[in-house]
Chains A and B, each alone.
Chain A
Amino acid sequence: MGALCNHSLELTGPAGDPASPVHRLDPRAKIVGLVAVTVVAVSTPIAAWPVYVAAALVLAGVAARARIKPREIWRRARFVLPPVVLAALFIPLVREGGHTYALGPLTVHEAGLETLAAVAAKATIGTVSAVLLAATTTFPSVLRGLEALHVPRILILIAAFMYRYLFVIVEEVGRMRAALAARGYRPRNALHAGALGRVATALFLRTYSRGERVYLAMLARGYDGRMRRLVPLAFGRADAAFVLAVLGLLVPLRFAAGVAT
């Protein structure tokens, strides 16, 4: 069960040098800065490609300061990026406009190629931004940052509990799978899937009653609907400098490139 937890969930923690200036930034600074990079990239038309280059340079700079190797970025990005780019590969075949090129039996359109390039660039920049945020900030810190940025508290609580109990539920699923396998369950066709439905039901009921017990445990220690924090977040000079540098570089470039069409 440990192995079940480890292979994908270990990719969620921080990476690189935990003492780097990027790791030590206030989570709000990193959230605002890296979300800004994504928003700028997503809103830029392909004709203004230098904006993409600038966004990529910002991300490369952040990764370098945090000592996160390209291999580590790829290890995390591979879950998101390849499917998106794979889907985008069909665009040049269907989006018509401009020159056409024959590729064996297929016809490739110039407008489609442009769209493909734009989608690929935007997806890459967006994904790498998210990977860098997650690799330089613990999940609880990201949540605290979002909370301080006035994201609704109920969403923060849901995300926090999901993070805490993901491991518990993964273990529970592992035990149920083992119990099925131990009694010779080897699904060979769709009709055998019924057992999985019952597993899902049992899992839902267990999770639901756990939720009730956790709530009782919170009440027992005086929970009254407010999550109090021991150490307040501190937004310092380095944090302001980071946000201003990112916004100061990308926002003027973005506006110089004109409005997306």
Chain B
Amino acid sequence: MSCAVNAIGLSYSYPNGQPALRGLDLHVDHGERVAILGPNGAGKTTLMLHLNGLTQGSGRLEVAGLEVGDETLAELRTRVGLVFQDPDDQLFMPTVGDDVAFGPLNQDLPREEIERRVDEALASVRMEGAAQRAPYQLSMGERRRVAIATVLATSPSLLVLDEPSANLDPRARRELLDVLSSIDRTMLLTTHDLPLAAELCERAVILAGGRIVADGGCHEILADTELLAEYDLELPAGFDLDLVSLRPRPGRAETASAAA
């Protein structure tokens, strides 16, 4: 069976010659939620751009069952939803509705199907009724959720989020967490917000110097303070990891109880 991400020896250098990824290996299965942690400049955003074919390096990269290359780009971009860090980059249409419809329109779907997807995507991020609003009229938290809706509307099998909780106040962050935990998709997210990773992801990898340097259960990685310190990561002072539990996944409750 195909996997969500399979990168072998992925390397990429910026146009100025500075290496960003140096032989990165990463394997993610369908249905996993993986937090990609790491200091600034580790190559997190570059990796995200690779997953959608926006930058292409050397080495082997298979995403959502497709070998990444020029011939597969159009199909790849319907299968992978990329949510950028700054929602103002993501929301470029005059109204929220136009923006959410942008991806499905590029897939040449029939009009009724597009309208249905726009409504569903906005409902799943709790932004029903915002279709006619302009992005600049929204709060930061609302913009972030609409940005997620713009990719959900393309019905991707893999959702990739770059720093989803950056610049959010506690309430907007909580709402974002609720929305993300209710989405039943394979999910990769880069973040400095370690408590968010602890609540959302069962697996974490640490990316440093363009390579994966640690890979394991999210709680195990976050509990290893020496490892975190080595890569300039730390949990908030006084944060008790044992009091945080992974949020239940939609559609997984039955499976878990059946296994038990």
Q: How far is the CA of A213 from the CA of B86 in the complex (A)?
A: 9
Known: A213-B86, A229-B105. Contact between A221 and B150, CB under 8 A?
yes
Q: Give chain A nearest CB distance to B139 CB in angstroms.
A: 12
Q: Place the interface of chain B in its size category.
A: 20 to 34
Contact B114 A168 (CB under 8 A): no
Instruction: Check B93 for interface membership: any CB of A closer than 8 A.
Output: yes
Q: How far is the CA of A219 from the CA of B103 in the complex (A)?
A: 10
Contact A139 B94 (CB under 8 A): yes
Q: Which chain B residues lie closer than 8 Å to A74 at the CB level?
A: none
Main secondary structure of the interface of B (DSSP, over half): helix
Q: Give chain A nearest CB distance to B152 CB in angstroms.
A: 11
Closest A residue to B103 by beta carbon equals A221
Contact B78 A220 (CB under 8 A): no
- Tell which of A138, A217, A228 touches B84, judged by Cβ atoms closer than 8 Å: A217
Instruction: Report the number of A-B residue pairs with Cβ-Cβ less than 8 Å.
Output: 73
- Tell which of A139, A164, A222, A230 touches B135, judged by Cβ atoms closer than 8 Å: A164
Contact B106 A160 (CB under 8 A): no
| Contact flags A206-244 to B (C-beta < 8 A → 1, else 0) | 000010011011111111100011110000000000000
Q: How far is the CA of A217 from the CA of B49 in the complex (A)?
A: 10
Instruction: Check B82 for interface membership: any CB of A closer than 8 A.
Output: yes
Contact B77 A163 (CB under 8 A): no
Contact B54 A219 (CB under 8 A): yes
Contact B49 A221 (CB under 8 A): no
Q: How far is the CA of A228 from the CA of B98 in the complex (A)?
A: 10
Q: Which chain A residues lie closer than 8 Å to B98 at the CB level?
A: 140, 230
Q: How far is the CA of A108 from the CA of B108 in the complex (A)?
A: 66
Instruction: Check B101 for interface membership: any CB of A closer than 8 A.
Output: yes
Contact B89 A163 (CB under 8 A): no
Q: How far is the CA of A5 from the CA of B136 in the complex (A)?
A: 10
Q: Which chain B residues lie closer than 8 Å to A214 at the CB level?
A: 89, 92
Known: A164-B135, A230-B115. Contact between A219 and B77, CB under 8 A?
yes
Residues of A within 8 A of B (CB): 5, 138-140, 160-161, 163-165, 167-168, 210, 213-214, 216-224, 228-231
**What are 7 A-B contacts with C-beta separation under 8 Å?**
A168-B136, A219-B77, A220-B54, A224-B74, A224-B106, A230-B105, A231-B111
